Amino acid sequence: MSNICGIGWINPEEYGCVMRGLKVSYENKVFLKKKIFPLPFKNLGRLDSVSRMTCYAVSLALKDAGIKYSLNRKQDIGIIGTNTSGSLQSDINYFKDYLDSGRTLSRGNLFIYTLPTSPLAEAAIYFGLQGPLLYMTLSQPGTAALLRNAGNIIVCGDTTAMLAVKGDEAEAVCFVLTQEKDLSRGKACSLEKITAVAERTSRLDEVITGCIAAVL
Amino acid sequence: MEGRRISPSRITPVRKKGHNWVKAVIVSCDMVTAYGQGTDACWKGILSGKTAISRLNRFNTRAFQSDYAATVKNLRYLQKDSLVKQMLKSLFSKTSALIPKDAKLILATTKGEIDLLEKKMITGAGDVSNCSLGHLPGKVSDLAGVKDTGIIISAACASSTTAIARAAAMVRSRLTDCVLVVACDSITEFVFSGFSSLMALDGFVARPFDKNRSGLSLGEAAAFAVIMSESRAKREKREMIGEIAGWGLSDDANHMTGPSRDSEGLILAIKKALKTACVKEREVGFISAHGTGTVYNDAMEIRAFRAVFKNEKTPVYSVKGGIGHTIGAAGLVETIIALRALKERKVPPTVNLEDVDNDALGWVSPGQHPAEENKKALITNAGFGGINAALVLA
């Protein structure tokens, strides 16, 4: 069985950590970088918006779980993600740019983000996540199926910890799942309990409210 | 920031010698590639040593690094049905009877029906919202005749390897006893221009592990495999084509488009795969490498094989000189070919290989040769974002 020991989230007005009971309002994104990342993140500005939101949520979730990262050491933590439209907006951005050039010039830095795994890969590179990395499009809405799949990856012994991310351009949430035996320290909640919350709604604010209630 | 660290040493393999584990076996599979319809066509094509990569005339390639690719014949571009749907229709038209209706569906792809978006943006026809990946599993479910509406697994060029690993894990952990894995990707102007912009293409044909290799050739394919628990396969008296004995998934956590210089991500994936399969390095009879033909990928792979297998030089081949790099479908196509290689005890040639790279000498060969009896096959794939996946087949 797996447990959830950290949940980080961000939307256009607020960000927070569920286990720590942290909820911060913000108006200017300029200050987010320093407040959310404990270590320097030089390349954050060149990432696309989904990747940036994914990295914010991952940083908050790791902090919530009390998991350290460093810029030169990697850990066998996996990352699985989903969102509402895959990489559709990045696809449009890339191909529009290509068509606008008269179909002669295509830009690699736009093409890269046409893979739905790219935001997860950006997070893996920065946080040193060396475990399984995959994106899923699920038939059921919401994050419940994502959490179940992340839990199954741990149960099957593929890795000992997984980050499950639902990230779009405007908002993102990240759950830290670990093996049950890893939870001797800090607050945690069973995967079943959080999955039950996520099953009831696909709205991020409602998921977070439900998770806060489940953890208390 | 204080707190815990997660260490790889605590990984517990599900499979242990002597334990009564659930075996995940492949009971039916098939493919469409540039060699034609069916696994036989691809197998014979690769053994012939002749490439299926040819001049590309699907769209204007003047602005690109290459005008060569491995395309499936008789597909119609920018028409009502997407290219992958045409391939899947052709694939399932003769094989859907082999697929249990209650199978869970996992679809592996990177760009799915991206040509529908191209059509919309070039001609204005169609609806953009219908172009997202999420619409494809339902169509595949209908074509394959399964009840499950399915999920997509996307892990760049390791998509279908990852999908097979997840399917086998689902079976082994008794979540289900039957999974249909379908993989597909096609060559479109979107995809071709993108790879060209990354300077990833060979100007002519890909030459994996060759001294003079200079890039990959894109290919397209669709394939499927039914992965079932051994007990159900026996109960239904199905032919067991092979077993997904182990798998390992990892990420380099290093670079978006370039492989790791020290190969540590792929080494980790291979070690995980061998560990979950309970297989020693010496039990691996051959390796089906990702072998794209890019300078860095092939060098990274050989470094990883040397690190894992040390002095035990194990035969390595790549099919991408024959069928091109079929992107999200690559892992499944290569798994099916490796199962045929195990069955026929033949290590296929690496098509287009003329002058073996110094680092690959003694590992890779331009000719086919016999495979040792009772050995396993190792499959490796890697993708953008540093994704690595490895499978052990028995």
Q: Examine the pLDDT at B18 and tell me if it is beyond 70.
A: no
A120 chain-B contacts, CB cut-off 8 A: 385
**pLDDT number for residue A182:** 56
Question: Do A185 and B4 count as a contact with CB atoms less than 8 A apart?
Answer: yes
Q: Examine the pLDDT at B15 and tell me if it is beyond 60.
A: no
Worst-scoring range by mean pLDDT, A174-183, B98-107, B128-137, B366-375? A174-183
List the single residue in B151, B170, B256 with the smallest CB-CB distance to A136. Answer: B151
For B330, half-sphere exposure in the C-beta direction (CA atoms, 13 angstrom radius) is: 36
Annotate B379-392 with DSSP letters as a single string: EEEEETTTEEEEEE
User: What residues make up the domain containing A165?
Assistant: 2-215
Here the ipTM equals 0.95
**pLDDT number for residue B16:** 55
Question: Do A130 and B252 count as a contact with CB atoms less than 8 A apart?
Answer: yes
Give the three-state DSSP class for B266.
helix
Question: Do B384 and A161 count as a contact with CB atoms less than 8 A apart?
Answer: no
pLDDT band at B13 (very low <50, low <70, confident <90, very high): very low
Q: Examine the pLDDT at B8 and tell me if it is beyond 80.
A: no
Mean pLDDT on B168-191: 97
Q: Is the dihedral of CA A117, A119, A122, A127 positive or negative?
A: negative
Domains in chain B (CATH in brackets) are: 24-235 (3.40.47.10), 246-393 (3.40.47.10)
Q: Examine the pLDDT at B14 and tell me if it is beyond 70.
A: no
> Any idea what the Cα angle at residue A154 is, between residues B6 and A56, rounded to 5°?
60
Pairing of strands B218-219, B178-185: unpaired
Categorise residue B374: left if φ over 0, alpha if ψ from -120 to 50, beta otherwise: left
pLDDT band at B12 (very low <50, low <70, confident <90, very high): very low
Q: Examine the pLDDT at B287 and tell me if it is beyond 80.
A: yes
Using alpha carbons, select from A214, A177, A136 the residue that is nearest to residue A3. Answer: A177
Question: The CATH number of the domain where A191 resides is what?
Answer: 3.40.47.10
**pLDDT number for residue A168:** 94
What pTM value is reported for the model? 0.96
Question: Do A76 and B150 count as a contact with CB atoms less than 8 A apart?
Answer: no
**pLDDT number for residue B1:** 38
Q: Which of residues 217-246 of B touch A (CB under 8 A)?
A: none
Mean pLDDT on B285-313: 97
Task: Give the chain A residue nearest B62 (alpha carbons).
Answer: A104
Question: Do A133 and B190 count as a contact with CB atoms less than 8 A apart?
Answer: no
Mean pLDDT on A159-180: 95
Q: Examine the pLDDT at B110 and tell me if it is beyond 70.
A: yes
List the single residue in B121, B194, B268 with the smallest CB-CB distance to A99. Answer: B121
Task: Give the chain B residue nearest A117 (alpha carbons).
Answer: B155
List the single residue in B122, B170, B253 with the smallest CB-CB distance to A125. Answer: B253
Give the number of domains in chain A.
1
B1 chain-A contacts, CB cut-off 8 A: 38, 63, 68-69
**pLDDT number for residue B9:** 37
